[in-house]
Structures are given as C-alpha cells and as structure tokens.
Amino acid sequence: MEAIATQIPRIDVDPFSDAMIDEPYEMHDILREAGPVVFIPKYDLHVVARHAQVQSVLTNWESFISSAGVGLANFKHEAPFRPKSLLLEADPPDHTVVRTVISRVMSPKTIQQLRDLFEAEAEAMFDRLLEKGRIEGVKELAEHFPLKVFPDAVGLESEGRDNLLLYGDMVFNALGPRNDLFERSMERFKPVSSWVMDHCERKALRPGGLGHLIYQAADTGEITHEQAPMLVRSFLSAGVDTTINGIANVLLTLARHPGEYAKLHANPALARQTFEEGLRYESIVQTIFRTTSRPVEIDGVEIDGDRKVLTLLGAANRDPRKWSEPDRFNVDRNPVGHLVFGAGIHGCVGQIIARMEGEIVLRTLARRVKRIELTAPHERHLNNSLRAMRKLPLEIFPA
C-alpha cells in the first residue's frame, strides 16, 4: 500500500488561485501528463484530468458519491453552506426519485414546446443588437438571452432576475475552497438570498411553467411538498450562469477565429455543432468533485475511502488521448463524448434546454451577422468552478 501510495505524482499547484482560474490550460497539461491520478498537497486532494479517468469516476457513482458534496468541502465533516441540493448532492435511491421528476419536466418533449418562443426572442434580440453594432457581449447578449428565456420558462416574474446572477456565482464559487472569491460572492449574495428562496415557492410561479410542473409532481405524491421548492431552487442555481457563460465563451472563441466564424456564417446548420465544440474548447464547468465511499483503485492507483476527488472537466475535454489537435477550435469537429455535461446518473439534466439555447443563439447569429470582432480585450470573471466572463466588447456587422 505504502509503495503504491508514494507513486502518485504530487503537484504543487492551486487550481483555485486567480492566475490558474484565469488561464488554466498549462496547469491542465501538467496535471494530465503527470499520471492518471495526481495529488495536490495544498488541498489534500486527488485529481483526475484525463478523459478516460474523468469519465470512469463520473460513471461509477457507487464508489464516487455525490451526497458528501460535489465541491471541495466534505459534507461528512463540514456543514454544507446551504441546505444540500436534493438533486446534485444526493445518491440513489434518494437521487433517483427527484431525478425522475426533473427529467420529465426537462424532457425533449417539454423543452421542444419552448422552441418557438426562444427563436422569437433571439430574433428580437439581434434586431436590437444589429441596430447598435457595437455591443457589450456579456450584458447585452450572453446574459440577456438566458436571463429572459429560462426564467420565463420556469415561470418567474421579470422583476429582480439579476439576483439569479448573484446566486449562481455564489453556488459555483462554493464548489471550490473558502477563498476570497467565495467569501466575496457570498457577501454580494446575502442581501438577495430571501428573494431567491421566496421565488421557489408555488405562489411565485406562473401556472404552466417548469416550476409549476414540479409542484404538480408534489400534488400527485411523487415527491413531497417540502421537496418541491428545493427542486425549483436547483433550476435557479443551475439554469442561468451556466448557459450565460457557455454563450459568452463561444462568442469570444468565434471572434478570435474568424475563419471558423466564416464557416458557420456560410452554413448556419453548423450552429449546434459549433456550440458543442465551443463547450469542449472552453468548458463552462471546469471542476466537479466526488467523494470516495470506500477504498478505490483508478488505473492501479489506490485511494482511501472518504477522500475528495477532483475531476477536471476542462482538462478532459482537451486530452490528446481523446481528441486530435485538442487545442484547436474547429467547427467541423463533432465533439461527441466531451464531458462538459458530466456523465452517468448525474449527467446534466438541463442539457437539452442548454443546447437549444446555444443552438438558437448561434444560428440566429450565423444568419444575421456577417462578421464578429473584438473591439477591446475581453475581461474574465473569476469563479472557482465556472469559466466565466465579465466583459466582451464586440462589434457585429449585418449580413
């Protein structure tokens, strides 16, 4: 055991430092090439950064559990910073019950019914944006679209939706260590926390929306009435920051790769695939953790039970063992098997709506915009687990 344990490469790096969050790719390369499992002493943490190992950890939910938290904190020893998510921070059989309800509410059939609304919203947005030409791509495009269509779909009032941005930022920071990023986002979030929880209640949700469908599952007894607001909370936690930054990242990437944009413009049917490649190239969710439920072995490396394991989704999505020319953004690549939506029983339940949002934004862009240019350097927003953006100064030229 000793001999095997000492074979694990130890890498002195802090993936949650400002510098690594801002520019993680060199660190990914080092961690990925050091071995199938590496150890980061600062956090007493095992890390997997290769595609095959990330996938195998995520699909083995019995050995790598979620109920002890999917961030750095081990809920067996530390109190969660908020009541645990019934969906994200749960294992079967509890997880299975709520996952079944959410899967139905977010099913292809339900989500397809939203398509016309989303498309009309994208057209209206580009009418306005093209009138201006020069835009701030985060506020006016990447945030604007998901913050309109997703809370509309859930059935939330229009007033106060910016509060969801503060909530999402805090939830995803909380997956990392209790560093300054986390503390500061917690401070910003505190004044709006009651707004968020109040908007998970039935009376805050429009009949017919996705939130209301959750309450209907409580009416039939499939879940309890205490569980319903907590599942709406999952929508509000996961549903905006993720798609916002997915869209922001792909806009930046397209602006930096005019040749690839030209291909998309010439063939708007590439929109869906372009969004996927954008997700692979800049993984919105960079880090997600599991906890070992028992002693486990990954490729000959032994890990004790009750240990945190970090899966580096962003590194797996650029693993040369899986992808040819992984650091190249290529809209002709169909990146099937990327892990930005995770894998296994916790694979993103919102991926159908996320993909539809991305596809619609990119197809509308492709049709209506001939060229997209950065007019000043972009600014990243630092977050412990999201690859996020603060400012994206763009000029768009009408087709």
CB of 285 to ligand PQP, least distance (A): 5
Rounded CA gap, 77 and 178, in Å? 15
The values of phi and psi at residue 285, to 5°, are -90, 115
Query: In terms of CB distance, is 53 or 242 closer to ligand PQP?
Result: 242
Helix-helix angle 271-281:241-256, to 10 degrees:
100
One of 49, 217, 228, 238 touching ligand PQP (CB under 6 A): 238
Residue in 234, 243, 293, 330 binding ligand PQP, rule: CB under 6 A: 234
With CB under 6 A as the contact rule, which of the stretches 30-38, 80-88, 136-144, 145-153 interacts with ligand PQP?
Answer: 80-88
Q: Using the rule CB under 6 A, is 352 a contact of ligand PQP?
A: no
**CB contact at 8 A, 258 and 165:** no
Provide, rounded to whole angstroms, the least separation between the CB of residue 368 and ligand PQP: 29
Report the first-to-last Cα separation within the chain, whole angstroms: 64
| 53 is an interface residue for ligand PQP by CB under 6 A | no
Q: Confirm or reject binding of residue 253 to ligand PQP (CB under 6 A).
A: no
Taking alpha carbons only, the member of 330, 335, 290, 327 closest to residue 28 is 327
The one among 11, 138, 171, 361 contacting ligand PQP by CB under 6 A: 171
Among 173, 242, 283, 287, binds ligand PQP (CB under 6 A): 242
Nearer to ligand PQP, 129 or 217 (CB): 217
Q: For residue 334, which amino acid is it? A: N
Task: Label each residue of 102-141 as H, E or C.
Answer: HHHHCCHHHHHCCHHHHHHHHHHHHHHHHHHCEEEHHHHH
Strand 45-48 relative to strand 38-40: parallel, antiparallel, unpaired? antiparallel
Query: Can residue 63 be called a binding residue for ligand PQP (CB under 6 A)?
Result: no
Shortest distance in whole angstroms from residue 385 CB to ligand PQP: 8
In the complex, minimum distance from the CB of residue 132 to ligand PQP, in angstroms, rounded to a whole number: 31
- Report the C-alpha gap between 296 and 307 in whole angstroms: 10
User: Could you say which of 63, 66, 85, 317 contacts ligand PQP (CB under 6 A)?
Assistant: 85
What Å distances lie between residue 369 and 33, 202, 364, CA to CA? 40, 41, 8
Least separation in angstroms between CB 288 and ligand PQP: 7
Nearest approach in angstroms of CB 299 to ligand PQP is 26
Which residues are near ligand PQP by CB under 6 A?
85, 87-88, 171, 234, 237-238, 242, 285, 348
